[in-house]
Chain A
Amino acid sequence: MPKNASRALPSRRSMLSGAAALAAVPAFSALQASASSGHDQHSGNGTATGSGTSRAGDPPSAVGTGVSHAGHAGFAGGSVLPERAGIDPTAILRDFDRGKTSTLPDGRTLREWDIVAVDKDFEIAPGVTFAGWSYNGRIPGPTLWAREGDALRINFTNAGAHPHTMHFHGIHRAEMDGTPGIGAGSIAPGQSFTYEFDATPFGTHLYHCHQSPLAPHIAKGLYGGFIIEPKEGRPKADDEMVMVMNGYNTDGGDDNEFYSVNGLPFHFMDFPVQVKQNALVRIHLINVLEYDPINSFHVHGNFFHYYPTGTMLTPSEYTDTISQVQGQRGIVELRFPYPGKYMFHAHKTEFAELGWMGFFEVGAS
């Protein structure tokens, strides 16, 4: 990746200014105006000047961010805007749902969540609709956060068209496992069930639907992060975030057409993850990718400490690339010593160029 290419990307603010940014991107405008324009428009790999194909007067039917990725992979016209897509990966980053808390007679904290499985369409790439299944209308589902030893109560309602479950990774009784045929088993459409268990062990975990056939029940979007903080806590991080690595199989084949972090391909190319220079950044990294055996995470211009599954307080590795199989997860901790923009992506370039790539933008402290 040419490092200087990042400078060609407009700032976040200019991207949001809509039409002005769009006018500079012939690739996108041509895509929009193509129905009437014939053969004569060429996007020129996103590097062309926009003078000939300005679309300032066009209706604001923005699909993508309108950003061209000179020298990078990306959709013509940039990633889908979060409000249009129905997924906001940037918001998901730091959205830890701590639930409704109360104190039990024994002094422990009780956390309660209402989770509803709903079928929902998402526009995951410009013009491409994905008929998803989601927890609470988002992919990935809410990141549930608890402290080790808390009592947890998850009120699950299935408002989808198929039976679903919530299967948590953790230590709990069999009937709370969200496995069909055990305990409440499959929760039929319109039915509800409350999963109750204690938060243990501490670490970075996940939950997902365990209804068969498993692959579609997971890959259509029924998954989310499940974070259990150690009782004594971890060293204070300046910035804590969750990244769920996923994919989308849109044609029902045996592979994914799109890959992403936090649900929206190429989102972090256009809206870099904003971090501060020298700040301790803690990333709960979770791989829920289906159809491909291994996913990976690589960061440019930096190294990180890696805590597999987050179940120990000492890192196992100091590296710039780790791999995870399905359901594997861990904690990435790093500080960016220099300001600027640094890519992060799957080091499997196929995944990267099909959506799983983005930027950290390090602001000077």
Chain B
Amino acid sequence: MSTTSKEETALTKKDFATSNDVRWCPGCGDYAILNAVQRTLPELGIPREQFVVVSGIGCSSRFPYYMNTYGFHTIHGRAPTVATGVKVANPDLSVWMITGDGDGLSIGANHLLHLLRRNLDMNVLLFNNRIYGLTKGQYSPTSETGKKTKSTPLGSVDHPINPLLFALGSEATFVARTSDTDMKHMVETFKAAQAHKGTSFVEVFQNCVIFNDKTFAPVTSRESKEDQVLVLEEGKPLVFGAEKNKGIRLNGLEPEVVSIVDGVAKEDLLVHQPKNSNLAYANILAQMTFPSFPTPMGVIRQSEGRETYEDGLIDQVKQAQSKGEGNLQELLIGSNSWVVEG
């Protein structure tokens, strides 16, 4: 079979749209994320036939049907396993896994952990809307404690999972966060994810307009974002606020919000270093949550150098075959055979 690309013609966003009607609810944050992914992919210099989008089950997991690439809509929570199989079978493919807070962090958390620790070279976009949408409004593992939903009429008693801490706990080599409200930031983050060699985990704040509307509005809405979002830029101090007059300083092992105008020098602020090999800094960022802290957006951690699973696996095969492929007939005969003469 041929796997050569047609003549190089620049791909556009349109090349990645399918003829299928997109069936998310009007106003759903998924539309913006789809838009961002369809804008990102043509800019990566990868032929369309090399993309595979793999998803589990849930609203977000309908994603592959709307992408004109190879796609596999699998079963609940298990997308990491199928994506792993695709990548191991053909490491040249650009694999994008789409999941949600229920799919990825509840029923499929086990698989997500193992995908992240194995560090396959693929991108994981986790749409976090803090609710079960497709089953019509039960609380999810990222829902806030006390949340009243159809299945928690008196409020949930669960402590929520922090997706970034989960990824960092799995020693993911690339951990980032973005929001469906910021198209430019999504595209930048997805590009950074693709550029990273290893599993790139991206939490996307996503609004469920029907069952959990405005859950992230206190952070990401137009009115609040200047004061509530901390945009991360490598090598730059952690500064935020409409007037860029607030920053994050480390006091012992605790971060604190300080006002720059109060005489705190910029030099005293934490400087964003996502490539720290130690996980402590990334964990400090991941634990900064509303309302005590501004919410970090961007690449939290990017650790280079760890071999990907598929490279390790394929290398072992190549190594074993370095002096030529094994002779199957000899293998079958083995070392303890005997001959019955005719």
A and B: partners? no
A residues contacting B by CB (< 8 A) are none
